[in-house]
Amino acid sequence: MFTPSSLGWTDISNELSKVISDALKIVEPAKGEVDHVKAIASRALQRVRKVALKSRFKPDVVLGGSYAKGTWLKREADIDIFVKFPKRLNKVDLKKYGLDVALESMREYEPILRYAEHPYVEAYIEDVGVNIVPCYDVKKGEWKSAADRSPYHTLFMTEELSDSLRREARLLKKFMKGVGVYGAEIAVQGFSGYVCEVLCLKYGSFFSSLKSASRWREGEVISLEKVDENLKKKFQKASVIILDPVDSRRNLGTAISPRRLAEFILASRAFLKEPRLRYFIGEKDRLDKIGKSELMGNLVTLKFKHSKRSVDVLWGQLKRSLNYILKQFDLYDFKVLRSACATDENEESAFIFLIESLEQPEIEDKKGPEVFRYEDSRKFISKNLKRSKLIWLGDDTRLYALMERRIKDIDDFFDLLLNKKRGLGIAPGLVDGIVNTYQTYLGNRNIELLSIPWIMKELVRLLSSDRLLTIDKDS
């Protein structure tokens, strides 16, 4: 059995030592599970290689991902298999021949087509996920697709990670999962498994990674080698710079949103202050926190249907559309305090808003130009003289008009946004679905949505204080 002391940790408290000992039990797969996953990986690899040999390009087939690196988590194994095609193929042919190999090799296991930069295939053999990913067989630095680096990542980590560091990476991954910052996909915009491994290589342990993260500054630079100052300039707008040891021109931190970065920093500080196993296992959403919340009356949910599509594409469309709607809320003087996208990742999604007030005053004042701006002030007077209730010159030399507010409540807002503008600014792939199927849930009507898990999760989050800020008060 591995303990913090056996990992070389000597500067931690008894309390932290106990938590880490318990955490190691939930991240390390037992021998039986290791043997089971190993057998499935061997079976899957043989199937893909057999089909690949029939392809006219005879692509090389290699294992990758957390399984190959030995950093996969207990009961969360998945197997990545990369099918490496000659670089002379264009991306259309890579897709065609790559999917031919992937789909044929997993034909017996109900394969599903997934999308990242280009398509790949996902299947389950028994209880283990298997991803077949086409990529190019290129020299280091001659990348033609994002997936081309992955085999090099696997090779690098296989050589650099000791058994001890693999356990540290598992602890860090599980911690990040528990606090909700794990996953580079667009739905999360957090830390990838590879980034966890890089951090453990850089800092030497899970514990040291958290200690360092707790003191990160904006624009922190993390590199396994000496940093080129020109690269710092290249990424100077990044919230964090984590240089890829396989490609030093690439910032792994680009996929990490500022919020997820801040959440990890807060979680690191909170855990170091008061270690608890709950950071590794997360918390279930508690309806009792919000069922009678006085803020329920300030909620607005726009629920709608749409056609099925790639999960990454869907999340991208949802986030772009949410940003547009938020700008429109601001334009019509609705103050949105918090907002979220939610989706079943199939054919239903929702936008949720916590708004200061669902209604607006009957009238609004409209600020015009300073009177010294001749043409602008003339146009303002001409446009507003007849349709305003009052028009006047303020002490600040600006013109003002008092108008009857056009948009007085949320229903008016969505009627204008979706029916008259036809959702101009909303992602084209969603606009028809939203306009034709949307339902609004205002205030306490949102209680009806608590029975829908994927919506309930976001409702709970929006109506609850951030857990990382209140952890000391939790029981």
Shared-domain flag, residues 396 and 424: no
pLDDT at 406: 86
Same domain? 185 vs 233: yes
Specify burial of residue 246 (Cβ count, 10 A radius: 0-12, 13-18, 19+): buried
Q: How far apart are CA 311 and CA 343, in angstroms?
A: 10
Give the integer Cα–Cα distance in Å for 469 and 473: 9
Of 294, 298, 384, nearest to 334 (Cα)?
298
Q: How far apart are CA 200 and CA 205, in angstroms?
A: 5
| Pair (296, 428) in one structural domain | yes
Instruction: Report how far residue 170's alpha carbon sits from residue 198's, in angstroms, rounded to the nearest whole number.
Output: 12
Q: Are residues 166 and 53 in the same domain?
A: no
pLDDT at 32: 97
Distances in Å between the alpha carbon of 377 and those of 337, 367, 390, 402?
34, 11, 16, 16
Q: What is the DSSP track for 33-82? A: HHHHHHHHHHHHHHHHHHHHTTSTT--EEEEEHHHHHT-PPTT--EEEEE
The number of domains in the chain is 4
Question: How many of the other CB atoms lie within 10 Å of CB of 190?
Answer: 23
Residue 111 three-state SS: coil
Same domain for 317 and 456, yes or no, is yes
Q: 293 to each of 104, 253, 299, 449, 462, how far by Cα in Å?
A: 53, 37, 11, 15, 11
* Final residue before a domain boundary, out of 255, 281, 307: 281
Q: Does residue 18 form part of some domain?
A: no
CB 223 within 8 A of CB 198: no
In a structure prediction context, what are the per-residue pLDDT tens digits for the chain, which is 475 residues long?
Answer: 455 555 555 556 788 999 999 999 999 999 999 999 999 999 999 999 999 999 999 999 999 999 999 999 999 999 999 999 999 999 999 999 999 999 999 999 999 998 877 789 999 999 999 999 999 999 999 999 989 999 999 999 999 999 999 999 999 999 999 999 999 999 999 999 999 999 999 999 999 999 999 999 999 999 999 888 777 788 888 999 999 999 999 999 999 999 999 999 999 999 999 999 999 987 765 666 665 678 999 999 999 999 998 898 999 999 999 999 999 999 999 999 999 999 999 999 999 999 999 999 899 899 999 999 999 999 999 999 988 999 999 999 999 999 998 899 999 999 888 875 566 789 989 999 999 999 999 999 999 999 999 999 999 999 988 777 765 555 4
pLDDT of residue 177: 96
How would you classify the pairing of strands 60-64 and 390-393? Answer: unpaired
Cβ contact 132:48 at 8 Å: yes
Quick one: 120 and 253 in the same domain? no
Q: Report the interhelical angle of 428-437 vs 311-331 (nearest 10°).
A: 70
- The structure's pTM equals 0.88
Helix (H) or strand (E) holding 124: strand 119-125
| Residue 143 shares a structural domain with residue 243 | no
Residues 170 and 243 in one domain: yes
The verdict on 330 and 422 lying in the same domain is: yes
Q: How many residues does the chain have?
A: 475
Assign residue 208 the CATH number of its domain.
1.10.1410.30
In the prediction, which pLDDT does 274 show?
Answer: 92
Q: Nearest-CA neighbor of 185 among 319, 37, 351?
A: 319
Measured in degrees and rounded to the nearest 5, phi and psi for residue 112 equal -120, 135
Instruction: Tell me which residue range forms the domain holding 133.
Output: 31-157
- Residues sharing a CB contact under 8 Å with residue 386, sequence separation 6 or more, in sequence order: none
186 shares a domain with 129: no
Q: Which of 157, 177, 200 marks a domain boundary?
A: 157
- CATH number of the domain residue 38 falls in: 3.30.460.10
> Tokens representing 415?
């009627």
My answer on whether 449 and 346 are in the same domain is yes
Choosing from 98, 124, 157, the residue where a domain stops is 157
In a domain, 76, yes or no: yes
- Distance in angstroms (rounded) separating the CA atoms of residues 164 and 178: 21
Residue 470's H or E segment, with its range, is helix 467-470
Where residue 436 sits, what CATH number does that domain have?
3.30.70.590
Residue 15 resides in a domain: no
Could you tell me if 135 and 171 lie in one domain? Answer: no
